[in-house]
Amino acid sequence: MQVELQLCPRKGALLLGHDNLLEVLVRAVGPQPPSDAPVKKALNLTLVIDKSGSMSGQPLDEAKRCAAAIIDRLGPSDYISVVAYDDQVELVWPAQTVTSTASVKDAVSRIREGGMTALHDGWAAGAEQAALNVGKAGVSRVLLLSDGGANKGLTDPAAIASQCAQLAAKGIGTSTYGLGQGFNEDLMLAMAKSGRGNGYYGQTAADLMGPFQQEFDLLQALYATNLQLTLSAAPGVKLQVANDLEHSHGAWRLPDLAYGAEAWAVVRLSLAKSVVASGEASPLRLLEASLSFEAQDGAHAIGPISLALPALPVAAHVALAEDETVARRAQEVRFAELQRDAAYAARKEDWSRVDEVLQTARTEAEGNEWLSASMQSLERYARMRDRQQFAKEASFKSQRMMTRLSAADEFMEFSASFEATRPSFLRRRQEEGKSDPKKD
């Protein structure tokens, strides 16, 4: 079994004698799950629950409900620990294999609200518990349930996110679940992104129950982690990765990859007309790509693979059909960029700019039902001039869209539930012959 790396141009040729902007979809496609062994991996999870004063009442009750739901799905081969925090850290359940889900849930039910919010201390204590068993399970992750408020100890989002990245490099990811209207999206989404996990938010446990189940299924079906994409443009070609991906040491980090799913990025290539002065006789070399990743059997590397295209006159170029998948992904990334711009304008209460960006976004969303539906809540908060909720919604949607179909969203699309040896979304994809769902 192996990951397949693909370079898919939006059009199969360049425009001869003109400036060119070509969008290329880079796809890492996971293998199908093995038929002779279960996909399910042992999990090593730490639940970190914010019990500070800002979480008192419904938010804390909702957090405990979410925690109980995921505890119910653990088996005897999984590891679980639970940490709660306010201005002090409480070890609710030390890291160990699951012998009784009822006992763990009972310990969670006894968590009571407290005072200030030492979010970093709580997360760090959870990380310490996860580290105890990182080599004994297939996947290790800290799941933080909080409103993201941090008013004691280390509170700087960049510093906390940096520590999440360091922990992720050691094999322990961080996912964040924001609860309540006071959700701090800047901190929580930064932690999830740097921690190589997922970031969600909602007003109630019902809002987060779906994402919780999806993450659980994703973690059990992971095939590859630490995907590092290296891209090299040919001379005269300018390269831009449109997705908001972590970039370091010359490589972009793609999201973790599940069996049968894909991780992707849209790359924009710019060429001056002088570079495309010829090319009908021999294709122009444009791009090289390589991928490294880690699977259960060790480290792997793919590539380099290359993309070269001919340059055609106007009439022939216009007659070429666009690749629908590439066009749709490019549209979604552009839409995410607009949402990010709108969130920035909303934080400054520049509502004229927000309205302008939303108008552009409406145009971008034409013909795409999923994008059009995504506009509804943004437009509602814009009409209300609700700065806080608009910024949260736009920031969250933008980040999720930038990494859509990173396997986690495959579970959203196909409502995965385990049967025998594989998630139902893999079975359904094979039955329908789909490799690229249109919406999640």
Question: For 110-152, how does the pLDDT look when each residue is reduced to its tens digit (9 = 90+)?
Answer: 999 888 888 999 999 999 999 999 988 888 999 998 877 778 8
Contact present, 362 and 335 (Cβ < 8 Å): no
129 backbone φψ class: left, alpha, beta (φ>0; ψ -120 to 50): alpha
- Asked whether the predicted pLDDT for residue 4 surpasses 70, the reply is yes
Question: For 222-244, how does the pLDDT look when each residue is reduced to its tens digit (9 = 90+)?
Answer: 888 889 999 999 999 999 999 88
d(CA 45, CA 207): 21
HEC sequence for the chain: CCCEEEEEECCCCEECCCCEEEEEEEEEECCCCCCCCCCCCCEEEEEEEECCHHHCCHHHHHHHHHHHHHHCCCCCCCEEEEEEECCCEEEEEEEEECCCHHHHHHHHHCCCCCCCCCHHHHHHHHHHHHHCCCCCCCEEEEEEEECCCCCCCCCCHHHHHHHHHHHHHCCEEEEEEEECCCCCHHHHHHHHHHCCCCEEEECCHHHHHHHHHHHHHHHHCEEEEEEEEEEEECCCEEEEECCCCCEECCEEEECCEECCCEEEEEEEEEECCCCCCCCCCCCEEEEEEEEEEEECCEEEEEEEEEEEECEECHHHHHHCCCCHHHHHHHHHHHHHHHHHHHHHHHHCCCHHHHHHHHHHHHHHHCCCHHHHHHHHHHHHHHHHCCHHHHHHHHHHHHHHHHCCCCCHHHHHHHCCCEECCEEHHHHHHHHHCCCCCCCC
Domain ranges of the chain: 43-220, 326-402
Q: Averaging pLDDT over each range in 3-12, 134-143, 186-195, 211-220, which range is the top one?
A: 3-12
Superfamily of chain region 43-220: von Willebrand factor, type A domain (3.40.50.410)
What is the band of 293 on the pLDDT scale with cuts at 50, 70, 90? very high
Rg, C-alpha atoms of the chain? 23
- Asked whether the predicted pLDDT for residue 348 surpasses 50, the reply is yes
Rounded mean pLDDT of the chain?
83
d(CA 261, CA 426): 8
* Least confident residue range of 21-30, 233-242, 413-422: 413-422
Q: Provide the CA 375 distance to its chain's centre, in angstroms.
A: 20
- Asked whether the predicted pLDDT for residue 397 surpasses 80, the reply is no
* Least confident residue range of 236-240, 300-304, 344-348: 344-348
Residue 421 has what pLDDT?
A: 29
